[in-house]
Structure 1
Amino acid sequence: MAAVVVHAPDSEGGRQVVARGHILGTAHNVMDLLDILEGVGLEREHVRLDDANLIEWRGGGAWEWTPNRG
């Protein structure tokens, strides 16, 4: 199981970021996500967006930030 779950984009394109059942914040792009992860102690230069042990992407991968209109 990944340490961080990035949920599907909401109606505004924001993706909820959760770790161990705690909401860390909402990211609207990759830079927001890296800021959130840095805020909990992960150095951005060590974060690999394709590391399935670190991040579980739901509803699209790292480059999917299109608002969910449905």
Structure 2
Amino acid sequence: MDGAPIVVHRPRGSGGRRVTVRGTIIGLAYSDRDLVEFLRQAGIEETTAEDMVAADSSMIEWRGGRAHHYEAA
């Protein structure tokens, strides 16, 4: 596998970031809370998802912008 299985893409012009898991779009996050919810819906236990996001897990790749920032550039 190349890179992390979870990718948070660059902020969109209108704000928010597309989130993919293994190449499948799972939603548009406007906050870390949204990201945690998408991961939970993808089958990751909520506490684990919260820990992954908070700890900047190597399972999550932040592309095209700073981690945890969802505003348009």
- Give the TM-score normalised by the residue count of structure 1: 0.84
Deviation at 1:45, TM superposition (A): 1.1
Q: Determine the structure 2 residue equivalent to 1:28.
A: 30
Deviation at 1:60, TM superposition (A): 2.4
- Counterpart of 2:35, as a letter, is L
Query: Alignment RMSD, CA only?
Result: 1.3
Q: Determine the structure 2 residue equivalent to 1:55.
A: 60
Q: How high is the sequence identity, in percent, across the aligned residues?
A: 40
- Give the TM-score normalised by the residue count of structure 2: 0.81
Deviation at 1:44, TM superposition (A): 2.3
Q: For the structure 1 residues 62 and 43, does the alpha-carbon distance in structure 2 shift closer, same or farther, using more than 3 Å as the test?
A: farther
Structure 1, unmatched stretches of 5+, are: none
Q: Determine the structure 1 residue equivalent to 2:43.
A: 41
Structure 2, unmatched stretches of 5+, are: none
- Number of residue pairs the alignment of both structures matches: 67
CA distance in 1, matches of 2:34, 2:23: 19
